Amino acid sequence: MPVRPHTGLIIDGFTLGEKLHTGGFATIWGVTHPDHAMPMVMKVPTILDGYDGPTIVGFEVEQMIMPRLAGPHVPHVIGIGGFDVMPYIVTEMIQGGSFLKTFQAAPLPLSDVIEIAARMVDAVADLHRQHVIHLDLKPENFLQRTTGEMVLVDYGLSRHDQLPDLLAEEFTIPMGTFPFIAPEQYLRCRDDLRSDLFALGAMLYALATGRNPWGTPETLRGVRKRLWRDPEPPRAIRPEIPEWLQEIILRALVIDPMQRYQTAAQMAFDLGHPQQVKLTARAHKLRQDGWLQVWDRWRIMRKIRRFTAPKSVAAQLASVPVIVVAVDLSPEGERLARTLRTAVQRMLTIQPDARIACVNVIKTARMGIDQGTDDQGNNLHVVRLVQLKVWADSIDLPDHRLTYTVLDGPNPAQAILDYATANHVDHILLGARGHSTARRYLGSVSAQVVAEAHCSVTVIRLPEGPHGNAIGATATG
Partner 1 sequence: MRFAILTDIHANREAFQAVLDDARAHRADRIVMLGDIVGYGPDPGWCCDTAARLAGEGALCVQGNHDAVASGAVDGMSTLARRAMDWTRTRLTEAQRQFLSALPLTATVEDILFVHASANDPGAWSYVTSDTRAAPSFRATTARLIFCGHTHVPLLASEDANGMVREQGLRADMTIPLLRSRRWLAVVGAVGQPRDGVAQAGWALLDTATNELSFRRTPYDVQCTSDKLRAAGLPEALALRLLKGK
Binding region for partner 1 (CB under 8 A)? 51, 53, 56-57, 60, 63-64, 67, 82-84, 87, 161-166, 168-170, 312
Q: Minimum distance between the CB of residue 319 and partner 1, rounded to whole angstroms? A: 18
Which of 133/327 has CB closer to partner 1?
133
Q: Least distance to partner 1 from the beta carbon of 162, Å?
A: 5
CB nearer to partner 1: give 53 or 398: 53
User: What values do phi and psi take at 383, rounded to 5?
Assistant: -60, -50
Angle at 415 between CA 149 and CA 144, to 5 degrees: 5
> At closest approach, how far in Å is the CB of 453 from partner 1?
25
∠ CA 365-370-374, rounded to 5°: 115
Of 196, 198, 208, whose CA–CA distance to 124 is shortest? 196
Which residue lies nearer to partner 1 by CB, 58 or 176? 58
**How many other C-beta atoms are found inside a 10 Å radius of the C-beta of residue 301?**
18
> Of 83 and 307, which CB lies nearer to partner 1 in the complex structure?
83
For residue 15, report the phi and psi dihedrals to the nearest 5 degrees.
-105, 125
Rank residues 149 and 191 by Cβ distance to partner 1 and give the closer one.
191
**Shortest Cβ distance from residue 2 to partner 1 (Å)?**
13
Contact between 438 and 477 (Cβ < 8 Å): yes
Least separation in angstroms between residue 311's CB and partner 1 is 10
**Burial grade of 44 (CB within 10 A; 0-12, 13-18, 19 or more):** buried
Q: DSSP letter at 449?
A: H
**Three-class SS of residue 11?**
strand
Contact between 123 and 264 under an 8 Å Cβ cutoff? The reply is no
Sequence letter at residue 429: L
Which residues in 46-108 belong to E strands, given as ranges? 77-81, 88-92
CB of 53 to partner 1, least distance (A): 7
**Based on CB atoms, which residue is closest to partner 1, 317 or 432?**
317
| Smallest gap from residue 86 Cβ to partner 1 (A) | 12
Q: How far is the CB of 62 from partner 1 (least distance, A)?
A: 11
Residue type present at position 354: A
DSSP per position, 342-377:
HHHHHHHHH-TT-EEEEEEEEE--SSSPPPSB-TT-
Instruction: Identify the bridge partners of residue 470 per DSSP, sorted by sequence position.
Output: 464
- Report how far residue 202's alpha carbon sits from residue 474's, in angstroms, rounded to the nearest whole number: 56
CB-CB neighbours of 435 under 10 Å: 15
What's the closest the beta carbon of residue 277 comes to partner 1, in angstroms? Answer: 36
As measured in angstroms, the least distance from the Cβ of 435 to partner 1 is 38
Q: Which is nearer to partner 1, 161 or 270 (CB)?
A: 161
Q: CA 139, 140, 146, 149: dihedral to nearest 10 degrees?
A: -50
Kindly tell me which of 47 and 327 has the beta carbon lying closer to partner 1.
47
Detail the DSSP E strand segments found in 377-437. 402-409, 427-431
Asked if 253 and 202 count as a contact pair (C-beta separation under 8 A), the reply is yes
Decide whether 1 or 343 has the Cβ nearer to partner 1: 1
Closest CB to partner 1 among residues 156, 412: 156
Question: Which CB sits closer to partner 1, 85 or 442?
Answer: 85
For residue 164, the minimal CB distance to partner 1 (Å) is 3
Torsion 281-286-291-297 (CA) sign: positive
Q: Which residue, 83 or 298, has its beta carbon nearer to partner 1?
A: 83
Compute the distance between CA of residue 135 and CA of residue 193 in angstroms, rounded to an integer: 8
Closest approach of partner 1 to the CB of residue 165, in Å: 6
Residue pair 431/446 in contact (Cβ under 8 Å)? The answer is yes
Neighbours of 321 (CB within 10 A): 21
Which CB sits closer to partner 1, 53 or 463? 53
Whether the Cβ atoms of residue 274 and residue 245 lie closer than 8 Å to each other: yes
**DSSP assignment letter at 311:** S
Q: For residues 26 and 36, what is the distance between their CA atoms, to the nearest angstrom?
A: 23
| Least spacing, CB of residue 58 vs partner 1, in Å | 12
